[in-house]
Amino acid sequence: MAAKQRKIPAPAATLETQAYWEATAKGKLLVRHCTACGEKHHYPRSICPFCFSDKTEWTEASGKGTLYSFSVMRRAAEPYVMAYVTLAEGPTMMTNIVDCDFDALKVGQAVKVVFVPSEGGAPVPMFTPG
Ligand SMILES: [Zn+2]
């Protein structure tokens, strides 16, 4: 049984993440790409966390990934799944897994991004099996 979707608070956009949240509103997931070392990272920062270069730019992610780890929050009023998803592009992001049978989730399974409306803010990227 998929649980009822809990309410998602609006994300706080900063100058560093404004473009990221504008993209989620259009159904796109962006990651930050460093042109100095070639690494991609998430959550978006202007300075590359690998080589500390400021030569970073936005790039659109495919929205595909694999479930790296997860934890079902059963004691919440509306149970939900906290998870780390490793994107096909490389970065791992903290997120929620939605629209699925929580008991059937398995580490390593393929997931894809969905954009869940927040309360009065940009949609939040979450993942579902697929
Ligand atoms: Zn770098």
- pLDDT surpassing 80 at residue 118: yes
**Distance from residue 74's CA to the centre of ligand 1 (Å):** 39
For residue 43, how far is its CA from the centre of ligand 1 (angstroms)? 14
pTM, entire model: 0.91
Predicted confidence at residue 125, as pLDDT, reads: 98
Q: What is the pLDDT of residue 5?
A: 72
| pLDDT digit string, tens, across residues 11-36 | 988 889 999 999 999 999 999 999 99
Report CA(55)–ligand 1 centroid distance (Å): 7
Q: Which two tokens stand for residue 58?
A: 């936005």
Nearest to residue 106, comparing CAs of 126, 129, 127, 90?
A: 129
